């Protein structure tokens, strides 16, 4: 039997990091338990209201955040606040499939366009790996706003 997967990020600012990854992946922030959000409602504002209503101190309201695939296919991504800084290179990282089915210059142009979009949202470009067929099709290594490595693939 297969299992469902949740990816968890340690973060200094879970809400901000969840917004970044929401925009990278095309995910959404779910609403609070039992909340029916009208179209166009801000789920993060709804969470703020919910947490205040149930008595969560303001200093603790950014202790965690989550995003989900609106189509229900991809894993849930959870962000939890931790006090320590990131200490070294990730041993596991995400590959964001930004150019599926593309090869050569068309693939690299699509990766460059996505790289520019993510840099504008707070990512950092690390390096570009050129295509080396038949095994490597090229990718771009990046870091999210808190320094976690990921690849545009």
pLDDT in tens, 106-130: 999 999 999 999 999 999 999 999 9
Band of pLDDT at residue 142, cut at 50, 70 and 90: very high
Question: For the segment 60-110, what is each residue's pLDDT rounded down to a tens digit?
Answer: 999 999 999 999 999 999 999 999 998 888 889 999 999 999 999 999 999
| Averaged pLDDT of the chain | 95
Please give the model's pTM, rounded to 2 decimal places.
0.93
The answer to whether 22 touches 67, Cβ cutoff 8 Å, is yes
């Amino acid at each position: 039997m297969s299992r469902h997967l949740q990816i968890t990020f340690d973060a200094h600012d879970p809400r901000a990091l969840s917004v970044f990854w929401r925009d990278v992946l095309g995910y959404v922030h779910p609403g609070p338990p039992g909340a029916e959000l009208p179209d166009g409602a801000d789920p993060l504002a709804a969470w703020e209201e919910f947490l205040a209503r149930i008595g969560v101190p303001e200093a603790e309201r950014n202790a965690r955040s989550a995003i989900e695939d609106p189509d229900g296919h991809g894993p849930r991504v959870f962000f939890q606040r931790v006090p320590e800084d990131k200490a070294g290179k990730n041993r596991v990282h995400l590959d964001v499939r930004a150019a599926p089915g593309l090869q050569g210059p068309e693939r690299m142009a699509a990766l460059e366009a996505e790289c520019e979009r993510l840099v504008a949202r707070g990512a950092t470009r690390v390096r570009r790996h050129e295509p080396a067929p038949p095994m490597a099709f090229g990718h771009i290594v990046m870091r999210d706003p808190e320094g976690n490595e990921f690849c545009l693939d």
